[in-house]
Chain A
Amino acid sequence: MHEELGGRGFTVITVALDKSPEDARPWIEAAHPRHPSLVDTGHVLADLYNIVNVPTVFWIDEAGRIVRPNDVAFGTDTFKHITGLESARHLGALRAWVRGEAPALPAGASARELQRLPGEADQQARAEFGLGEWLFRQGRADAAARHFVRGGELAPHDFTIRRGTMPMRGIDPMGPQFRAMLGEWVGQGNPYYRPLPDTQG
């Protein structure tokens, strides 16, 4: 997408919410990107943009304004059987917006109304993550894990904490503990991915 539209005043910026650059490296190197491909071990972006799961995408216009807030989109259909989201819908809409052929949101939709703003529990959970991440860097993994778990209890919808800290707790983020957590969450009627309404396939 960056290669196709990059000459038109457009760039992709990817940010990996991973525990280390080495976790993100295979993904980035496989993609041979020509756009900024960044690593965010401290979840700075998650805090600034109220990101609670990945992937989350934002469209930002030439003036630096969020014209399409937190949405879920995949670059390929690899996970379509799980997510029910078709990559082509987002890519088609993105292409039209970059080319100036269509607005970022359908007529009548407002970026402001589509946003979810963070509450006190979200920010307390992020502070617990921040303390845990610092403790983890100090080699105090057991203490770190307590704060990661506490953060997940405060914001059970925040999978950047509940799942994203599993590698720092010695837990396989694709393994049985993740599947049990996901099963419980979804079983209670909660969505794991929360795309914007107009992209729901």
Chain B
Amino acid sequence: MTDSTFTIIDDGKPATVPARVSGDTVRVSREALERATGWTLKPEGLCRGALCVPLRPGAALESAEGVDLAGVAAALGRPLALDTAERAAYLGVGAGDRARALAALEAPDFTLPDLDGRLHSLREHRGKKVLLVAYASW
């Protein structure tokens, strides 16, 4: 087991926090988890603000070494890409959340830059019909 720092990228936003890495298991303190993801462990479950996700009975997310990052991702139904050698992990968005949002047919809003770095959002075009085109140079 090694004590060191670890970068947790939560849906694109990186935060570097102290962590304990043992094999493929990454454990962080409750405070570090909250700093990186906004989620914290409480008696009622994993909570962010007023929202709490209850944990399965016996789901041992926390030990004396801290909260298991993979366990948190699983409890939230979110994918975790982990690289202990590179000391980084990416917490993605779960299929359930994405599928529910798309199935509602509400076009997900996004904010992206143009070539000059100016940000544009889909919502600025509400009231117009939009042809949204994803393409690439490849």
- B114 at the A/B interface (Cβ < 8 Å)? yes
What count of chain A residues pass the 8 Å CB interface test? 82
CB 8 Å contact bits of B76-88 with A (1 = contact, 0 = none): 0011111101101
A29 to B137, CA, bound (A): 13
Looking at the assembled complex, report how far the CB atom of A93 sits from the nearest CB atom of chain B, in whole angstroms: 11
Cα–Cα, bound, A94→B131 (Å): 8
Are A134 and B90 in touch, CB under 8 angstroms? yes
Evaluate contact between A131 and B130: CB separation under 8 angstroms: no
The number of residues on chain B lying at the interface, defined by a beta carbon within 8 Å of a beta carbon of chain A, is 52
B102 in contact with A115 (CB, 8 Å): yes
Q: CB-CB < 8 A to B135: which residues of A?
A: 14-17, 27, 54-55
Can you identify 8 A-B contacts, CB atoms within 8 angstroms? A10-B130, A38-B113, A45-B112, A62-B127, A64-B126, A111-B105, A117-B98, A123-B95
Which B residues contact A (CB, under 8 angstroms)?
A: 7, 9, 11-12, 14, 78-83, 85-86, 88-95, 98-99, 101-103, 105-108, 110, 112-115, 120, 122-123, 125-138
Interface residues of A (CB under 8 A from B): 1-2, 9-18, 21, 23-29, 36-40, 42, 44-51, 54-67, 69, 94, 97-98, 111-112, 115, 117-120, 122-124, 126-128, 130-132, 134-135, 140, 143, 146-147, 150, 160, 163-164, 166-167, 173-174
